[in-house]
A and B are shown apart, each in its own frame.
Chain A
Amino acid sequence: MENNNQYRGVWVFVEHKGSQIEKCSLELLSLGRNLASELQVDLSTLVIGNLMGRLSEELMYYGVDVVYVVENPVLERYTTSPYHKITCDLIKEYRPEIVLFSSTPIGMDLAPRVACELKTGLVAHCVDLKIDKGKRQLLQICPYGDYMATMITTVKPQMVTVQPGVTPLPPRGEFKQGQTVQIEREIDIGNIKIIEVVKPEKADMGKIEESDVIIAIGRGVKNMSLAEKLAECLGGILGATQPIVDAGLLPESRMIGQTGKAVRPKVYIACGISGAGQHIVGMKNSGLIVAINTDEKAPIFKVADYGIIGDVSKVIPALIAALNR
């Protein structure tokens, strides 16, 4: 039986693109900093890639104590096998008690495999993390059906993936702090070969996160063109719940929530949306939230600033008329 107490410190797995730190990883630093301070341990980051010098330096402005760097030209782009091997080896060697990943295609490819290799658990799509100081235990908060669950992992390290977009970005400090530790490794790239990478022509993907106004539609909306008119009127864009996307009414890039995207527009109008936990994690940080629903008990009202109890097919045309007055 291994002694759980030998594990110390908080680690963040850093994702990057074109030598820029991904936003989701900065969000992890802000969670990680809090956890590390509460536990009075170091916050460390793991950076795997090629020519990571500038990026590692940049990380030191975000309250990181140690930046572990593994560099090699063959690590330029993520592939499972070498990243998995390096991550597992370093966790086994340095024994952090907590390791944070993002719920991104890379994080979700890597973290479950790493957790499995280390024979520990993994909690998916967390929206908040806290420490139970007495037990020195990580409290992993994630959506659970129409509830929110607090999960714990009884084995070390405690590993989670965090939903991107729900944690505020950390402030960039004025001065660098901490140290960089360069790690040399023999690298086996495994039997996977990248043949090509293509970006779809439609620049549509990604747009919804940038829009200031989102009109989000759920199953209560029967007439899409009404919602579209409202979006037009407010200079916004349509977003949707999962059932709307599953029904093929809007593309996947417009889905908001745990499976879709986390957004924080200035104005979010939820039309005919019940407010399931998996949807709320993607929109609760919006500026002004308005909900329109026939059911006064719909949970969406718990996260709204203003509510209208009514039928969207009547409220939307009336609202458009009022806006045009």
Chain B
Amino acid sequence: MTQHSINLGIMLNIAVCIKEIPEEIRVNKKTYTLIREGIKGVINPCDKNAIELSVTLKEKHGGKVTLISMGPQNVEKTLIHGLAMGADQAVFICDKAFAGADTLATAFTLVTAIKKLGHFQLILCGKASADSGTQHIGPQIANFLGITQVTYAVGLAVENNKVRVKRQLMDEYETVEVEFPVLISVVKGMNEPRIPSYVDIYEASKKDFFRWSINDLGLKEDQVGLTGSPTKISKILPPETIRQCKMLQGTLEEICNDLAQILKT
């Protein structure tokens, strides 16, 4: 109990889940996974907003930010970027056994790491990843932890130990008030993620960085990865031809006259 916050005394312990995604999305037709070789990995866009939010809250209320990411290859650079934005430590969960995880197995693995790290008042994640985009992970983490969830956050303020969140829904905004602990998933564009300097990035490489395997998490193979996943891909097919397309032929003028006729009728 050395470092009390001078502001409010809340000292937020925040975990932020971040995913690295391939910059370009292509499917390997044999393994049904996304191709990663030769494609640059980038941080999932709304996860940057989640990191920005966590760092802003820490600056205002005091506390500590831990980044957690599970991924198939070295996402060190992505995590370092998050550390350079102002997070304090990073945990990278990586093991062959985690390959092929569906969302339930992914959330379960992330939650095991979260529990190992201790108690968090606030857990942040993005609304959806830009590569698979299920939107499942947030609510699943909240359920595994048995805590409240608030999805689609576009604004957030902490007051008197409560959190006020503005949610963006289909055609309206809803503002709710919740108590800690809570999981919040954020929408891209909710804030302006800071761009770290070279000095920040250099300093970040000195921060605590943990790499955890299945053994470090104390899990068994049948609880994670493909074997721990209730959903399976049975097959993938290229999009079917749904219509017979008539290609309009001729000079540009002829083509456009033909199309104008079709559109007028």
Contacts and interface: CB of A to CB of B under 8 A. Distances in A.
Interface of B: 25-27, 29, 32, 34, 102-104, 107, 128, 133-140, 142-144, 148-152, 164, 167, 169-179, 229-248, 252-253, 255-257, 259-260, 262-264
Interface of A: 79-81, 84, 104-105, 108-110, 112-113, 115-117, 119-125, 139, 144-155, 190-200, 205-206, 234, 258-259, 267, 275, 277, 280, 284, 288-291, 296, 299, 301-310, 314-315, 318-319, 321-323, 325
Nearest to B35: A145
A259 B128 CA distance: 10
A145 B260 contact: no
30 contacts: A80-B139, A81-B148, A105-B170, A108-B151, A109-B152, A113-B142, A121-B230, A124-B134, A145-B26, A146-B238, A146-B239, A148-B237, A148-B240, A149-B233, A149-B234, A149-B236, A150-B234, A150-B236, A155-B230, A191-B148, A192-B177, A284-B242, A303-B239, A303-B242, A305-B244, A305-B245, A306-B248, A315-B256, A321-B256, A322-B257
A162 B238 CA distance: 20
Contacts of B150: 192
Q: Which among B171, B239, B246, B257 has the highest number of chain A CB atoms within 10 Å?
A: B239
A195 to B, nearest CB: 4
A288 B264 CA distance: 12
B172 A197 contact: yes
A310 B256 CA distance: 11
Given A116-B143, A190-B148, A200-B173, A319 B230 contact: no
Nearest to A107: B135
Contacts of A319: 256, 259-260
Q: Which secondary structure dominates where chain B touches chain A?
A: mixed
Given A124-B136, A307-B245, A322 B259 contact: yes
Contacts of A291: 245
Contacts of A258: 133
A322 B242 contact: no
B250 to A, nearest CB: 10
Contacts of A284: 242
A205 B138 CA distance: 26
A302 B237 CA distance: 14
A277 B240 CA distance: 10
B93 to A, nearest CB: 18
B102 A121 contact: yes
A299 to B, nearest CB: 6
Contacts of A310: 252, 255
Contacts of A150: 233-237
A313 B254 CA distance: 17
B170 A112 contact: no
A191 B178 contact: yes
B179 to A, nearest CB: 5
Nearest to A291: B245
Top 9 nearest A-B pairs (CB, nearest first) are A121-B231, A121-B230, A145-B27, A322-B260, A112-B136, A322-B256, A124-B134, A113-B139, A112-B139
A178 B103 CA distance: 36
Contacts of A308: 247-248, 255, 259
Given A105-B151, A205-B171, A319-B256, A267 B263 contact: yes
A41 B263 CA distance: 46
Contacts of B178: 191-193
B242 A302 contact: yes
Contact of B140 (A113, A153, A206): A113
Given A121-B231, A150-B235, A105 B252 contact: no
A144 B105 CA distance: 19
A90 B110 CA distance: 28
Contacts of B139: 80, 108-110, 112-113, 116
Contacts of A153: 230-232
A201 to B, nearest CB: 11
Contacts of A151: 231-234
Contacts of B263: 234, 267, 288, 290, 323
A112 B252 contact: no
A144 B175 contact: no
Given A112-B135, A322-B257, A206 B239 contact: no
A112 B241 contact: no
Contacts of B104: 115-116, 119-122
A238 to B, nearest CB: 16
Contacts of A79: 176
Given A79-B176, A113-B149, A150-B234, 19 more contacts: A80-B148, A105-B170, A110-B139, A116-B107, A121-B230, A147-B29, A147-B238, A151-B231, A153-B232, A194-B174, A198-B172, A259-B133, A288-B262, A289-B243, A291-B245, A302-B243, A307-B247, A321-B256, A322-B259
